Amino acid sequence: MPHEVHAVVAAKQGAPVELQTILVPDPGPGEVLVAVQACGVCHTDLHYRDGAIDDAFPFLLGHEAAGVIEEVGPGVTGLAPGDFVVLAWRAPCGACRSCRRGRPWYCFDSANATQPMTLRDGTSRTTSGAGTPLTPALGIGAFAEKTLVAAGQAVKVDPHARPEAAGLIGCGVMAGYGAAVHTGAVGSGDTVAVIGCGGVGSAAIAGASIAGARRVIAVDIDDRKLDGATRFGATHTVNSRGTDPVEAVRQLTGGHGADVVIDAVGRPETWTQGFFMRDLAGTLVQVGVPDPDMRIELPLIDLFSRGGALKSSWYGDCLPSRDFPVLIDRYLGGRLDLDGFVTETIALDEVESAFDKMRDGRVLRSVVVI
């Protein structure tokens, strides 16, 4: 019997999101029904709303979530009703060419629920009419009282964690933390510069600090964000609005540049700064998501002569089943300040206003609590 629940839907490109009633089916084989307790408002949700990722409207937004398993479908093992889980948008299939090569964090056929969630008959405001299937953001759709996901997307973690903090490792925190720890391979004694101190950048700062970096330099144009970065482990800050950040980072690293630079903005200007901000043979990690029309222009001799590694970080190169429980344990042990990312908690009907605050840089994360 389908479940009628309230959810946040992006019905049309660029239009304000709407709180609508949707139908969530009972779980089928390999699926689980999750009662959502908290879901962070991420830039990716705004990109979906604005049509910057796909045009498969209407979208069921929300993906950075934690909740409790309510029902499990046939064939599901390792999960049971009552389990506290964080939802992941990567659930490795185990069979694609990347998984077979032992790189499940690059899985090319990640699992999602096969049954669609739909608008309730008579409530659709789209041209398709009532009962329109919804496209869940990143295969999750968690700005809802309940959602349906593949069992592999629900990662069991310690239930002592606060849902509004725990859910954040489902996307932004994991992306930034993993960019430092996994993609950038920050190690003890390294120097690290992080460009952009929003949620993802702050998580990269936290990851670098936990990994043992001796110097973590936060770079941003907003003094408020730079002040916040010190809470997560930044040892130095640079406001690049009035200072050349490349020269500033070099001065802070003995004239050499950082061993690892993480671009959490994703613009040509910041990527280029990061490229020259590295030490010779240093690593540049791009975790900020660029617009499709952005381009980089760089003399090829600079690419050759500076050496090192230029990497993109997809979801922090994480393996959710391995990494989510570890991050929650570090949170509960006082080593990872997930609470510091939660600027405010809001209701489902406040998501649109949360997008405005996010655009203006007034929040690290607004978190919907259900």
Look at residue 320 and tell me if it is in a domain.
Answer: no
222 and 351: one domain?
no
The whole-number average pLDDT for the span 190-211 is 98
pLDDT tens for 158-189 read 999 999 999 999 999 999 999 999 999 999 99
Contact between 230 and 203 (Cβ < 8 Å): no
pTM of the model: 0.95
Look at residue 327 and tell me if it is in a domain.
Answer: no
152 and 191: one domain?
no
Q: Which domain holds residue 191?
A: 177-314
Strand pairing of 59-60 and 191-195? unpaired
Look at residue 326 and tell me if it is in a domain.
Answer: no
153 and 192: one domain?
no
pLDDT band at 130 (very low <50, low <70, confident <90, very high): very low
- For residue 260, pLDDT over 90 is answered with yes
Distance CA 48, CA 287 (A): 18
277 and 139: one domain?
no
162 and 185: one domain?
no
Distance CA 140, CA 67 (A): 12
Distance CA 232, CA 264 (A): 15
The reported pLDDT for the residue numbered 292 is 84
pLDDT tens for 57-75 read 999 999 999 999 999 999 9
Look at residue 255 and tell me if it is in a domain.
Answer: yes
Nearest Cα to Cα of residue 154 among 367, 320, 331: 320
77 and 185: one domain?
no
Domain with 48 in it: what CATH number? 3.90.180.10
The whole-number average pLDDT for the span 128-133 is 66
Look at residue 16 and tell me if it is in a domain.
Answer: yes
152 and 23: one domain?
yes
148 and 208: one domain?
no
Q: CA neighbours within 13 Å on the CB side: how many for 100?
A: 4
The whole-number average pLDDT for the span 27-41 is 98
More confident residue, 127 or 16: 16
306 and 341: one domain?
no
| H helical segments located in 20-171 | 43-49, 97-100, 163-166
The whole-number average pLDDT for the span 79-90 is 98
Question: Average per-residue pLDDT in the chain?
Answer: 95
The reported pLDDT for the residue numbered 1 is 84
Contact between 164 and 136 (Cβ < 8 Å): no
142 and 121: one domain?
yes
pLDDT band at 126 (very low <50, low <70, confident <90, very high): very low
Look at residue 322 and tell me if it is in a domain.
Answer: no
Domains held by the chain: number: 2
Query: What is the DSSP secondary structure assignment for residue 182, as one 8-state letter?
Result: I
The whole-number average pLDDT for the span 270-285 is 98
157 and 208: one domain?
no
Look at residue 59 and tell me if it is in a domain.
Answer: yes
- For residue 342, pLDDT over 50 is answered with yes
Q: CA neighbours within 13 Å on the CB side: how many for 274?
A: 32
Domain with 182 in it: what CATH number? 3.40.50.720
Distance CA 177, CA 231 (A): 15
pLDDT tens for 216-253 read 999 999 999 999 999 999 999 999 999 999 999 999 99
pLDDT band at 123 (very low <50, low <70, confident <90, very high): very low
The reported pLDDT for the residue numbered 121 is 61
pLDDT tens for 351-368 read 999 999 999 989 999 999
The whole-number average pLDDT for the span 109-128 is 75
Look at residue 92 and tell me if it is in a domain.
Answer: yes
33 and 79: one domain?
yes
- For residue 127, pLDDT over 60 is answered with no
State what percent of residues in the chain have pLDDT above 70: 97
Distance CA 234, CA 194 (A): 9
